[in-house]
Amino acid sequence: MSEIRSMTVLPAVRTDVSFVTADGLTLVGELALPEHGEPVGTLLFLHPLPTAGGFMDSHIIRKAANRLPALANIAVLRFNFRGVTSPRGTSDGAFGHGVDERLDFEAALRFIRERGLPNPWVVGWSFGTEVALNHATEHDVAGLILLSPPLHRTSVEALERWNLNDVPIVAVVPEFDDYLPPAQARERFAVVPRLEIIEVEDGKHLWVGETQTTRVLSEIVAKVNPAALPLPTEFV
């Protein structure tokens, strides 16, 4: 048995992928699948703000791809928004201020559909939550998971549009968030009564540390495949 640590990469079928947006840009990413059998669900990750260093390897996203196919039988698709570079490569285009990224999200979701991957949950982190909230309303997704939502680019009107469907939404809000701490989150999200807010004690916007990482990944798995909880801390 080996302890699962920050840089642990558990077995999975990992494939470099790319897909093309409606405006002709090629985006680069990675699809991680369980080694054996079909996944019970799919995570579509939308990464933090590119102009602040967010990319497909932002640590929570990278660790989800490194662990959850093996620990929770979940497929993970992560990719770089337009104009973003990571070790995987650079996606075409330039930062779209959360507006043009609608096309990136839609291309990624289309890729999931074409691959026949099940139950796509959209998981946004920071800036990625705003892309999800602003642009996923009319799409057939299993649910939304919002990590550290800042609500800088999301209007009341955009939030209220979620009342037109019954897609489950959960916001995982760190106690000491730099942009939207729990009390403010409850006030801002009150326009969507079904939205669940999970306050994480001692948490911060960037979820630094193994304790916070494990908590975030556990909250994700609790929605997508709760039978896999508690997540192991060791792996054979």
**Quick one: pLDDT at residue 21?**
98
Alpha-carbon span 172 to 116, nearest angstrom? 28
Alpha-carbon span 12 to 17, nearest angstrom? 15
Q: Which domains does the chain possess?
A: 9-231 (3.40.50.1820)
**Quick one: pLDDT at residue 191?**
98
**Quick one: pLDDT at residue 1?**
79
**Quick one: pLDDT at residue 124?**
98
Alpha-carbon span 141 to 159, nearest angstrom? 16
The residues, ordered by sequence, that sit 6+ positions from 85 with a Cβ below 8 Å of its Cβ are: 55, 91
Q: Which helix or strand (DSSP H or E) is residue 31 part of?
A: strand 26-33
The residues, ordered by sequence, that sit 6+ positions from 123 with a Cβ below 8 Å of its Cβ are: 43, 44, 45, 46, 64, 144, 145, 147, 220
Mean pLDDT, consecutive 10-residue stretches, the chain (236 aa), reads 93 98 98 97 98 98 98 98 98 98 98 98 98 97 98 97 97 97 98 98 96 97 98 92
**Quick one: pLDDT at residue 23?**
98
Predicted TM-score (pTM) of the model is 0.98
